[in-house]
Amino acid sequence: MNNLERAENLLKSSDFTCVCCNDTETLTSRKRGVVPLLEWLDGGISLKEFSAADKVIGKGAAFLYVILDAREIYTNIISRSALETLENHHIPVTYDVLTEAIRNRDNTGFCPIETAVSDITDPQKALFVILETLSKIQKS
């Protein structure tokens, strides 16, 4: 079983929201949204040698996987713009469901992170906007 298969199996057989595997290490998180990716980024972790599995990937998460330099990704659900972002940065991705956009947690509209980065093409600019958007969300 390769690293992507291990990550996907662990994601599907647990309550983890995100799993990353390489030959010697497994990173997991139960946190939602882009939080695990931001924590790994803040901790100086690179996913260069890791295969990732994630429950849901919107464009914001896609940009974070680009910055983290993930080798390859599996996801249950991915938005069209997230798929395009990963493809543009040459990160192979497999998925179960392709959707036009990721819905927010209340299912009353679209994900605020994906909406905030919808017109962005630069990963570093996206990171700035993601952090700014999360700060606004936490204050409200």
Query: Strand 18-21 and strand 93-99: pairing?
Result: unpaired
Tell me what pLDDT residue 96 has.
Answer: 97
Tell me what pLDDT residue 9 has.
Answer: 97
List the chain domain ranges. 3-139
Q: Confidence band (pLDDT; 50, 70, 90) for 139?
A: confident
Q: Phi-psi category of 6—alpha, beta or left, where left has phi over 0 and alpha has psi -120 to 50?
A: alpha
- Residues 54-82: what's their mean pLDDT? 98
First-to-last alpha carbon distance for the chain, in angstroms, is 45
Q: Tens of pLDDT along 6-53?
A: 999 999 999 999 999 999 999 999 999 999 999 999 999 999 999 999
Is residue 95 a contact partner of residue 76, using CB atoms and an 8 Å limit? yes
The DSSP code sequence of 35-48 is: HHHHHHHHTT---T
Q: What CATH number is given for 3-139 in this structure?
A: 3.40.140.30
What's the number of CA atoms in the CB half-sphere (13 Å) around residue 83? 17
Whole-model pTM? Answer: 0.96
Tell me what pLDDT residue 109 has.
Answer: 87
Q: Tens of pLDDT along 121-134?
A: 999 999 999 999 99
